[in-house]
Structure 1
Amino acid sequence: MPSLKRALDTLRGIAAPESALTLAMMLIVLRHRAESERADPAASGTDALDAWRAFGDRGFRLSNGYEAVGIISQGLLDGGLPDLFVSNLRDLDDVPGSRLIPLFDSVVTAADPAVLFDDCLRLAQTKSKGGDYFTPPGLAQLLIGLMDPEQGDAVYDPVCGAGGFLLRARDHVASHGGSAELLALYGQDASRFALQTAVMNLTVHGAEAHLMGPASSLTDDRFPESTFDVVVANPPFNQTGWDENGYSRGDYRWRYGTPPAGNANFAWAQHVLSKMAPAGRGGILLPTGAASTTKPAERDIRTAIVEADVLSCVIELPAGLLPHVRNPVSLWLFTGSKQPRRSWGHHDQSGRTLVIDAGDTAVLTGRGRRELTDETRARIVDTFAAWRGVPGHEPYEDVPGWCRSLSREEIAAAHYDVLPSRHVGSPAVVTPSVDLHDQVDNLAEELLELFETSGRLEDELRDLLRQL
């Protein structure tokens, strides 16, 4: 089977990496839609199938990229995809048709279009240059597991990226015996490319969502009157200049304090809180510094959030889990009430906040990346569930070095610092060591990837110099 990565490499230097990936994703979705139309003779149309056949018949004789993009786009638009899906990809106009053959072959011969699309998203993590980063699947799975959506819930992501959280919510419901089709999915993003990717990602996985944008949820909320059962977000960290014109200074969402114009972390946190239904729950990824910053405006908002008793849990995570962030990150979980109820558990945790220190739990994977193991994710989810009193879990107890249930008074005595590693005490266990041979192999893979990146950048620089 032709490698997707090798196929994309044939376009290096003559097309932007983002455009080449977008073309690959469009081809994958066209194949998916074509196969769906072929499998359903009673379907209202065969637009995608006709386009797929036309592209296949002419694939080796396409004159240039402009013709290829036109065939794909028309087939998908006629097949019912929204205008948002259309991408001009003007830098592909003059790419010779022969250079597209490996890319077409990699899509044609793939065993599963959805799996190939996931490969595209993994490549996007390393090739993106415009700030469109997508949450790694393992991290998305962790946050959705903590939120525990159920069929019938409305799930909202105000910075939805490629739609990963929304798809994980469907997977979670299905894996727990529910009907994923009974979830209502909503998303917004400021990036057109991210929204295009989300439409394609949802389509190829057989899902639908109400997506809005491109527009920032902070300054142009496209769901102004709506609240949701589950709100999840992985926003840009330490975003500066997010409200330079001051349009949002008196916004109703800032019930815990006006966020500083120079850092949007607590604007995003309060947006999540404002979009939660009365019995809803929310979760957001924030830089670890948000848990302990002493900057007055941010500290005051954190204090107000704790005093309002809407912060249910803070989880400190390792560095390197997000490709674009090398510092440690944290998960903040919110709820409107900590009293016993079906979507919460049997324990009344009013006036208390759980902190979990998972900062030393990452393992090194191929090419120098770091991930949480399945066991670590399960332990985090189980700890939070036990603290809430969810049936079927062992009774909760503080574990030195891992978790602690803090009273509001204890947090106040710590100047409202909620960084877990400052509260849980000394670790009770030592992180298992990694085999030396595995370390050498992983470092070698990372070095080879750096060599490859260096070569690609050198090629791009040479192309730019030739154009001067």
Structure 2
Amino acid sequence: MNAKRVSLADIARRAGVQRPAASNWKRRHHDFPDPLEGTSGELFDAAEVAAWLDCRRIPVNALRPGERPGTTFGDRFRGAAGTAVAEQEARKPPVTERADAAARIWKVFDGVRGFADLGDFTESVLALVCCRAVDPRGFEWFRDAVRSVPPSGAGDLFLSAWAGVSRRTAMRLDDPPVLRDVGGGKALAAVAEILYDMEPPAEDDRGNPWWGPSEMAGVYEAVLGRIAVLEGHRGGEFHTPRSVVRTMVEMVDPAVGERVHDPCCGTGGMLAGVIRHARGNAPPTAPPPDVSGASLTERGRRLAAMNLLVHGVRADVRSDALAEVGARPEGRRFDAIVTNPPFTLTLAPADLGGLHWRYGEPPARNVSFAWLQSVLAMLSDRGRAALVTANGATFSRHRSEHMIRAAMIEDGVVDCVVALPPRLFASTGIPVSLWILRKDGAGNGRILLIDAGELGDKRSRAVRTLTDDDVGKISGTYRAWREGRFRDEPGFARGVGLDELRARGHSLSPPTYMTSTAVEADMNAAKGDVERLRADLARLHVRLADLDEAVDRLLGGGR
């Protein structure tokens, strides 16, 4: 890469921060240098970046040996561009962008569709990505060794490399399913070559990989996203679009040191978002956040554990998500919960009876009200949560659903509801809402309702996505609400009091309240127009009487 041009990954590496921190600099600071023209917004002028970093001092607890207090990130950035680093960069293999790598992997995937189990193949590919991130030396051993064995032996060879991942992480990791035929072996070898072309994880002075997120995390999530589209509803049960994850995580704002849980974590995308967010707002030396989760299936648990490993975190992930629904929480409580449970799931009545329901027993046909109560029960005294439900949960008149929603509102645990745009999920067109819950009931008798239904850009004919500006608008509005700076924004956001909520049957559907405000404003304006028209009409009647009298005089004078 031209030394005068740097990517966000280059900026993060040279400044000695995590990649999310560099992304946050760009997103949150309007004076951050603009991308160079003709680079699709991906490259920046190194001199401009260095000058901008000169204004940012490195925290004392993040200084490296030899750096004095007062050293800026600009000083570190320039130092990292020296001769030694340049030589090290020259020895690295060519860098493949994550989107390009995912696309190339998918071409390999297309080649095995006719003869391989797609689920097994995608899981083995994701395990290969995890191996590249966590144990690069073991990966390189596999990549070299697979060239000298028959293709049918590639699967068993990779399992030998995978054992090294378990040893390195000190975790019990199940063996991934592997393909043992010729076509499958050739596909594994091809994917290994693609991943080898990417930038390897950074190493410390002893040659050990730095335990943190790498470019592999982006590849892993890109492949997961493609799987979700391919598998439809099955994929949707474990994949939440990244823009929705960002919105939820930024609203809950988990910090390093807090305990964060996803009781229905799918493949770990929500928890990966928590890790990116927490690291982006913490010093580089800060420990990773304490995250945990439970998936509905064994496959989901395996994929989630690997997802979190490529993000640099060893996490406790189980496969008993349904066991947490309605159970009395024992032991740990959580500072933050973020989750997108499958709202189409139906529980048998026997699964609900006799469990702990603070606000009322939920109907078996709508598990959303079971998840809402279970999440609240798992929070610490000042905990908060973000949860996705179908829009119907915000206004349903079903007796038990209405009763539970009303009780939650009256208890003050619902802080905000956001109506999201349609078609954000590739697996379903059902419109959804975000619920922000707070255990301390600190809403002061009001609930923030946000109608974000008009936000989002079309990513394809069938799918929309929230832009960075959309995410910032939603999370910024909620942040202003929490900080006491919020002012109603007609048509987008309102703070609604209990009296109005009661009058509307405890509905939490944001569009209803935005429409009512607009109609009320139109009626007030129309009322003023009517009064003015009445006054004008009265004046015209007086004028008409004067004219009639004048006409009578003229006619009388003419007789």
Indicate the TM-score class for this superposition, using the shorter chain for normalisation.
0.7 to 0.9
Map 1:368-407 to 2 at 5 A: 368-389=462-483, 395-407=485-497
What's the counterpart of residue 530 of structure 2? none
Aligned residues of 1:291 and 1:419 also touching (Cα < 8 A): yes
How many angstroms apart in 1 are the aligned matches of 2:400 and 2:258?
Answer: 34
- The 3 A distance-change label for structure 1 pair 396 and 209 is same
- CA deviation after TM superposition for structure 1 residue 351, in Å: 1.1
Aligned residues of 1:60 and 1:98 also touching (Cα < 8 A): no
Q: Could you tell me which of 180, 190, 197 is aligned with 1:93?
A: 180
- Give, as a single letter, the amino acid of the residue that structure 2 aligns with 1:255: R
Q: Could you tell me which of 103, 110, 133 is aligned with 2:191?
A: 103
- The 3 A distance-change label for structure 1 pair 167 and 56 is same
**Does 2:292 align with 1:186?**
yes
How many angstroms apart in 2 are the aligned matches of 1:84 and 1:191?
Answer: 15
- CA deviation after TM superposition for structure 1 residue 69, in Å: 4.5
- The 3 A distance-change label for structure 1 pair 221 and 190 is farther
How many angstroms apart in 2 are the aligned matches of 1:219 and 1:376?
Answer: 32
User: Which stretch of structure 1 is more off in the superposition, 415-424 or 222-231?
Assistant: 222-231
- Give, as a single letter, the amino acid of the residue that structure 2 aligns with 1:190: L
How many angstroms apart in 1 are the aligned matches of 2:256 and 2:167?
Answer: 32
What's the counterpart of residue 316 of structure 2? 210
How many angstroms apart in 1 are the aligned matches of 2:517 and 2:503?
Answer: 23
User: Which stretch of structure 1 is more off in the superposition, 101-110 or 175-184?
Assistant: 175-184
Bigger Cα Rg:
2
Map 1:193-342 to 2 at 5 A: 193-219=299-325, 224-240=330-346, 242=347, 244=348, 246-252=350-356, 254-339=357-442
- Give, as a single letter, the amino acid of the residue that structure 1 aligns with 2:513: H
**Does 2:227 align with 1:139?**
no
How many angstroms apart in 2 are the aligned matches of 1:386 and 1:199?
Answer: 35
- Give, as a single letter, the amino acid of the residue that structure 1 aligns with 2:181: D
Q: Could you tell me which of 343, 350, 367 is aligned with 2:444?
A: 350
- CA deviation after TM superposition for structure 1 residue 108, in Å: 1.9
Aligned residues of 1:7 and 1:106 also touching (Cα < 8 A): no
- Give, as a single letter, the amino acid of the residue that structure 2 aligns with 1:94: D
- The 3 A distance-change label for structure 1 pair 51 and 362 is closer
- The 3 A distance-change label for structure 1 pair 323 and 224 is farther
- The 3 A distance-change label for structure 1 pair 427 and 319 is farther
- CA deviation after TM superposition for structure 1 residue 219, in Å: 4.9
Aligned residues of 1:153 and 1:182 also touching (Cα < 8 A): no
- The 3 A distance-change label for structure 1 pair 204 and 400 is same
How many angstroms apart in 1 are the aligned matches of 2:139 and 2:482?
Answer: 53
What's the counterpart of residue 123 of structure 2? 22
SS at match of 1:324: coil
TM-score, normalization: structure 2?
0.66
How many angstroms apart in 1 are the aligned matches of 2:275 and 2:138?
Answer: 31
- CA deviation after TM superposition for structure 1 residue 103, in Å: 2.2
How many angstroms apart in 1 are the aligned matches of 2:147 and 2:500?
Answer: 67
- Give, as a single letter, the amino acid of the residue that structure 2 aligns with 1:93: R
**Does 2:164 align with 1:75?**
yes
Question: Once the two structures are superposed, what CA deviation does each residue of 1:337-369 show, in whole Å capped at 9, x if it has no partner?
Answer: 344xxxxxxxxx411111000011121024642
How many angstroms apart in 2 are the aligned matches of 1:221 and 1:181?
Answer: 31
Question: Once the two structures are superposed, what CA deviation does each residue of 1:392-415 show, in whole Å capped at 9, x if it has no partner?
Answer: xxx321111111111111111001
Question: Once the two structures are superposed, what CA deviation does each residue of 1:54-110 show, in whole Å capped at 9, x if it has no partner?
Answer: 452223533425424433433333434533432334xx2334433433222222223
The aligned length equals: 397
SS at match of 1:10: helix
Structure 1 stretches of at least 4 aligned residues deviating more than 4 Å after TM superposition: 219-223
- CA deviation after TM superposition for structure 1 residue 375, in Å: 1.1
- Give, as a single letter, the amino acid of the residue that structure 2 aligns with 1:167: A
Q: Could you tell me which of 415, 420, 440 is aligned with 2:505?
A: 415
- CA deviation after TM superposition for structure 1 residue 188, in Å: 0.8
- The 3 A distance-change label for structure 1 pair 250 and 213 is same
SS at match of 1:423: helix
- The 3 A distance-change label for structure 1 pair 404 and 222 is closer
What's the counterpart of residue 39 of structure 1? none
Question: Once the two structures are superposed, what CA deviation does each residue of 1:182-209 show, in whole Å capped at 9, x if it has no partner?
Answer: 5211111121111111111111121222
SS at match of 1:404: strand
How many angstroms apart in 2 are the aligned matches of 1:353 and 1:105?
Answer: 53
- Give, as a single letter, the amino acid of the residue that structure 2 aligns with 1:75: G
How many angstroms apart in 1 are the aligned matches of 2:164 and 2:115?
Answer: 25
- CA deviation after TM superposition for structure 1 residue 333, in Å: 0.6
SS at match of 2:436: strand
How many angstroms apart in 2 are the aligned matches of 1:98 and 1:177?
Answer: 43
SS at match of 1:424: helix
SS at match of 2:425: coil
How many angstroms apart in 2 are the aligned matches of 1:385 and 1:427?
Answer: 23
What's the counterpart of residue 123 of structure 1? 226
Q: Mind listing any 5+ residue stretches in structure 2 that lack a counterpart? A: 1-95, 200-214, 519-559
Aligned CA-pair RMSD: 2.4
- Give, as a single letter, the amino acid of the residue that structure 1 aligns with 2:150: L
- The 3 A distance-change label for structure 1 pair 218 and 151 is closer
How many angstroms apart in 2 are the aligned matches of 1:192 and 1:177?
Answer: 33
User: Which stretch of structure 1 is more off in the superposition, 180-189 or 329-338?
Assistant: 180-189
How many angstroms apart in 1 are the aligned matches of 2:169 and 2:457?
Answer: 43
- Give, as a single letter, the amino acid of the residue that structure 2 aligns with 1:400: P
SS at match of 1:56: helix
What's the counterpart of residue 82 of structure 2? none
- The 3 A distance-change label for structure 1 pair 255 and 11 is same
How many angstroms apart in 2 are the aligned matches of 1:220 and 1:94?
Answer: 45
